[in-house]
């Protein structure tokens, strides 16, 4: 692979996702495999601005593939949004001889790197690391599989107590703008209903569904709610149902940041490893201003322009399956 790249910088930014460490490991070891120096930039764009940059070796990333979170830490940087902040970041890269970047994160991370790439032309590639699975150009993002499995495990446990006490549980999962975790954990967990940001289900429709379940002698029910629901979160929906009917014994569980942590699944570890290697190899082949993605189990490269501010839409088939299984 003939190229002018000699020193690669890798960083994580935005919300953490299980599997980020596996991606870091793959980037580091692939870089060394191809005889390139590799540097870890701590705290995302903040570390780029402050100069918190460390050289990494193969042993630097030993025993991290199974760990959640990110060893490079993550932070959101307001200063990087300014031309002055980006200028500082560029000077620190130059000082360390870093001539290319690999970022692991979500839409906000990509937007920042896209702007930086436009201004300074530093060869850059992104790896999608976000539990929401909402990035266009890829079938899966790193962390989504683990977060959804975490949600399903929690739903299974909640179902045990729901059945024991004939209760209605509202379970809130992450997803401000994306219902991927909600809809697939609802299908896998046997929920009676799922409320996601992409759909326009009204409260009346939800209440009627719960009433119908009661009329068919259903003794317990689970409703999965994405945090970005347009008709209210789990607490608000539970309150509205309680105000309209005393038939239900209602409880609420908000899973919250539980979904971000934990050891990544095998799928996320393998996906992150493949994406990390593809990012390094992409740089060495001359790919710039792109994101690594996976489509039909093949690694692909998507231009920043084609993915930024575009979302991976929920497929109609998942919605249809959830509706059929709710009766």
User: What are phi and psi for residue 294, nearest 5 degrees?
Assistant: -125, 125
Question: Which of the four pLDDT bands, split at 50, 70 and 90, describes residue 158?
Answer: very high
- Is the model's pLDDT at 325 over the cut of 60? yes
Query: Quick one: the chain helix, strand, coil %, rounded to 5?
Result: 45, 20, 35
Q: What sign does the CA torsion over 187, 188, 192, 198 have?
A: negative
Q: How many CB atoms lie within 10 A of CB 317?
A: 8
Name the average pLDDT for the chain: 92
Task: Assess contact for 138 and 279: CB atoms under 8 A.
Answer: no
pLDDT tens figures, 160-170: 888 777 788 99
Please give the positions annotated as active site.
Answer: 132
Q: What percent of the chain has pLDDT over 90?
A: 77
pLDDT for 323 equals 84
Q: How many CB atoms lie within 10 A of CB 124?
A: 24
User: What are phi and psi for residue 137, nearest 5 degrees?
Assistant: 90, 5
- Pick from 96, 107, 100: which is nearest to 13 by CA? 107
Alpha-carbon distance values, 264 to 144, 148, 192, 257, 304 (Å): 10, 11, 28, 15, 27
Average pLDDT over residues 149-175: 91
- Is the model's pLDDT at 1 over the cut of 60? no
SS3 of residue 194 by DSSP: strand
pLDDT for 50 equals 95
- Is the model's pLDDT at 229 over the cut of 60? yes
- Pick from 287, 309, 306: which is nearest to 101 by CA? 287
Average pLDDT over residues 217-226: 81
- The residues with which 127 forms a beta bridge, in sequence order, are 104
The Cα 215–Cα 197 span in angstroms is 28
- Is the model's pLDDT at 307 over the cut of 90? no
SS3 of residue 82 by DSSP: coil
Question: Which of the four pLDDT bands, split at 50, 70 and 90, describes residue 214?
Answer: low
Estimate the crossing angle of helix 144-165 against helix 180-189, to 10 degrees. 40
Lowest mean pLDDT among 9-13, 270-274, 306-310: 306-310
The Cα 81–Cα 83 span in angstroms is 7
Query: When comparing pLDDT for 215 and 317, which is higher?
Result: 317
Estimate the crossing angle of helix 83-95 against helix 107-120, to 10 degrees. 70
pLDDT for 215 equals 64
Half-sphere exposure of 320 (CA within 13 A, CB side): 3
pLDDT for 147 equals 97
pLDDT for 58 equals 92
Average pLDDT over residues 49-73: 96
pLDDT for 167 equals 82
pLDDT for 165 equals 79
Q: What is the value of pTM for the model shown?
A: 0.93
Question: Residue 34, Cα to own-chain centre: how many angstroms?
Answer: 29
Question: Residue 54, Cα to own-chain centre: how many angstroms?
Answer: 26
The Cα 29–Cα 272 span in angstroms is 13
**Residue linked to tokens 């809130």:** 172
pLDDT for 173 equals 97
pLDDT for 219 equals 60
Q: What angle do CA 156, 158, 160 make, to 5 degrees?
A: 75
pLDDT tens figures, 261-286: 999 999 999 999 999 999 999 999 99
What structural domains does the chain harbor?
7-143+264-307 (3.40.50.450), 145-260 (3.40.50.460)
pLDDT tens figures, 109-142: 999 999 999 999 999 999 999 999 999 999 999 9
Extended beta strands in 201-296, E state = 221-226, 250-254, 290-295
The Cα 248–Cα 168 span in angstroms is 6
- Is the model's pLDDT at 4 over the cut of 70? yes
- Is the model's pLDDT at 216 over the cut of 70? no
pLDDT for 246 equals 78
pLDDT tens figures, 14-43: 889 999 999 999 999 999 999 999 999 999
């Amino acid at each position: 692979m003939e190229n002018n790249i000699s020193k690669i910088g890798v960083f994580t930014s935005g919300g953490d996702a299980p599997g980020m460490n596996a991606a870091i490991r793959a980037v580091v070891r692939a870089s060394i495999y191809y005889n390139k120096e590799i540097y870890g930039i701590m705290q995302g764009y903040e570390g780029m601005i402050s100069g918190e940059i460390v050289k990494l070796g193969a042993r630097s990333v030993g025993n991290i593939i199974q760990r959640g979170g990110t060893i490079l830490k993550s932070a959101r940087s307001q200063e990087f949004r300014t031309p002055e902040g980006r200028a500082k970041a560029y000077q620190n890269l130059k000082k360390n001889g870093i001539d290319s970047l690999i970022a692991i994160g979500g839409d906000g991370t990509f937007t920042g790197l896209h702007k930086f790439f436009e201004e300074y032309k530093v060869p850059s590639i992104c790896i999608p690391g976000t539990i929401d699975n909402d990035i266009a150009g890829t079938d899966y993002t790193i962390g989504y599989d683990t977060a959804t499995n975490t949600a399903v495990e929690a739903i299974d446990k909640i179902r045990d107590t729901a059945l024991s006490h004939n209760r209605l549980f509202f379970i809130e999962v992450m997803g401000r703008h994306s219902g991927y975790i909600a809809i697939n954990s609802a299908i896998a967990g046997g929920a009676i209903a799922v409320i996601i940001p992409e759909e326009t289900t009204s409260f009346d429709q939800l209440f009627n569904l719960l009433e119908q379940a009661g009329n068919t002698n259903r003794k317990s029910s689970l409703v999965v709610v994405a945090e970005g629901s347009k008709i209210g979160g789990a607490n608000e929906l539970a309150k509205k149902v309680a105000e309209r009917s005393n038939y239900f014994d209602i409880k609420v569980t908000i899973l919250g940041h539980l979904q971000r942590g934990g050891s990544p699944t095998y799928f996320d570890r393998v996906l992150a490893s493949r994406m990390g290697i593809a990012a390094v190899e992409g740089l060495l082949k001359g790919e710039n201003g792109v994101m690594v993605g996976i489509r039909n189990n093949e690694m692909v490269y998507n231009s920043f322009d084609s993915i930024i501010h575009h979302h991976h839409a929920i497929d109609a088939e998942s919605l249809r399956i959830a509706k059929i299984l709710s009766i």
